Amino acid sequence: MNKKVAVILSGCGVYDGSEIYESVATLLRLDQRGAQVQCFAPNIAQMHVVNHLTGEEMPETRNVLVEAARLARGDIKDLREANADDFDALIVPGGFGAAKNLSDFAKNGAACSVLPDVLSVAQAFAKAGKPVGLICIAPAMAVQIFGPGVVCTLGHDDDPAAAAVREMGAEHKACEVTDIIEDSERKLVTTPAYMLAQSISDAASGIYKLVDRVLEMTAEA
């Protein structure tokens, strides 16, 4: 297929960075489909560092780009180097890093803001009419990227996160973990992944559909 896809990571680890299974499933499916991938991450300090064994915050600091490099096997660039003109699509895996490092949704909910570098890159894809895939909690940034009225999913309608995106102005649609929600007008595809997943297979089922649909959309007029 030879499509070029940018992937924005937010660290390494579900509680303070990119969800590892979601990121790997995304990168695996892109590779299976023959896409050329470049990972990016903001060169900033994480909001905080969480001990993934105990779930407790740790008294140290880590860099989002350095941590995300673990997932990308070192093949990653500073997000400031990303140019939408060089790619056909953008995908952002979930994990709390999307709500703590790429945005402050975890802290501020419906009053959240998106990191300026993330917002400018994502909006450049949107403005160019290039497809965007947002996974798990990453759709919490959809309104800032696409504006009110954007259609997306965070899984179940009664989830507090879903209520927050509705408050921001999104049209939230319930979605099972194995499926995707598409906003065809804005070329946005979302899937719940670990908002609902009980296993890596659960998460991968929806992520594979999202990747496939994003790649299909790159060929549509």
Q: Which of 12, 39, 112, 136 is catalytic?
A: 136
Confirm whether 136 is a catalytic residue.
Answer: yes
Tokens of 186: 């804005």
The string of DSSP letters for the chain reads ---EEEEE---SSTTTS--HHHHHHHHHHHHHTT-EEEEEE--SB-S-EE-TTT--EES---BHHHHHHHHTTT-EEEGGG--GGG-SEEEE--SHHHHHTSB-HHHHGGG--B-HHHHHHHHHHHHTT--EEEETTGGGGHHHHH-TT-EE--S-TTSHHHHHHHHHT-EE----TT--EEETTTTEEEE-GGGT-SSHHHHHHHHHHHHHHHHHHHT--
What CA–CA distance (Å, rounded) separates 199 from 95?
15
Catalytic residues: 136
